[in-house]
Amino acid sequence: MGFDEFKELKPIAAALFSVIVPEFWDIDHYYRQGNIIVNATSLNSRLIAGHMIRNSKTSFGWLAIVIHWLIALTVVGQFVLGLYMVSLNYYHPNYQILPYYHKSIGILFAMLLLFRIFWSLINKRPGSVPGVRVWEHWASVIVQWAMNLLLVVVVCMGYLISTATGDSISVFDWFEVPATITSIDHQEDWAGEMHYWFALSVMILAGLHGLAALKHHFLDKDQTLNRMIGGV
Ligand code: HEM
């Protein structure tokens, strides 16, 4: 089968190929070269209403956007839920069930976070939008990676608290995550302290990060926020 026929007949294979095979990830590059991935690009674009799954040099792909907002929502929700549930006394009707939700969501969140870190590593980050200062660019890179790393610590500490007594974590009764490390002195206490302080640090950084995005949008009037909501 010739090159042109493959493009016509196997667009889905070409689209999948562009996601799976690293050498073909730089889709713009291959688009310009007239490589076969040119077809995958146009198919991806049509399938997902004009937005590609992967980041390009100038915009975030839809997967990075969806994961970003899912993580942002979950982080804030889990923080509020965590503070509320520890304020309840033993006789409150939600005393047992809220920690179960917090832990279940936490494990699913950890899986999503690891996937997001993997996805960020294999996807080139789009360059900053025109008008952004160099220091702002580097500050945003540092803050974004700091949030990722702090979140990894937060979920690890949450795991160590919940499994300190050897109990596994049931994730919505779908599957169990077994206990592993249980022998550290006062594990529940120090992991609990770290869980709280690192979560608080994430919230502070996320607040600054969100304010910076709003400043770009309303004061600088650039495309930074628009491209994280898929508008660019
Ligand atoms: C807990 C909440 C949040 C976390 C953990 C978080 C984390 C991140 C991370 C890791 C990135 C890098 C891109 C990626 O890997 O997907 C990013 C980018 C971005 N976030 Fe957030 N974010 C949060 C909340 C927000 C909020 C509330 C806003 C807006 C008000 C926002 C606006 C943006 C924008 C505009 C970018 C792209 C920045 C650029 O182009 O460099 N984020 N965020």
Show the tokens assigned to 151. Answer: 């979140």
Q: What is the mean pLDDT of residues 63-86?
A: 97
Q: Which atom of ligand 1 is nearest to the CA of 126?
A: 40
DSSP code for 123: S
Which residue has the CA at smallest separation from atom 35 of ligand 1? 225
pLDDT value for 20: 42
Model confidence at 8, in pLDDT bands (50, 70, 90)? low
Long-range pairs for 180-189: beta carbons < 8 A, 24 or more residues apart: 184/160, 187/160, 187/161, 188/160, 188/161, 188/164
Cα 28 to ligand 1 centre (Å): 24
- Give the closest residue (by CA) to ligand 1 atom 26: 210
pLDDT tens, position by position, 83-130: 999 999 999 999 999 999 999 999 999 999 999 999 999 988 898 888
- Out of 209, 215, 225, 232, give the residue to mutate to test ligand 1, the one with the largest number of ligand atoms within 8 Å of its CB: 209
Residue 58 phi, psi (nearest 5): -120, -10
pLDDT in tens, 15-54: 544 444 433 444 443 333 333 333 333 334 434 445 689 9
Given this model, what pLDDT does residue 17 score?
46
Highest mean pLDDT among 3-12, 16-25, 199-208: 199-208
Q: Is 188 helix (H, G, I), strand (E, B) or coil?
A: helix
Give the domain ranges of the chain: 3-47, 62-228
Query: According to the model, what pLDDT value does residue 51 have?
Result: 65
For residue 62, what pLDDT band results from cuts at 50, 70 and 90?
very high
Percent of the chain with pLDDT over 90: 69
How many angstroms separate the CA atoms of 57 and 126, rounded? 5
Whole-prediction pTM value? Answer: 0.81
CATH of the domain spanning 62-228 = 1.20.950
Query: What is the residue with the minimal CA distance to atom 24 of ligand 1?
Result: 72
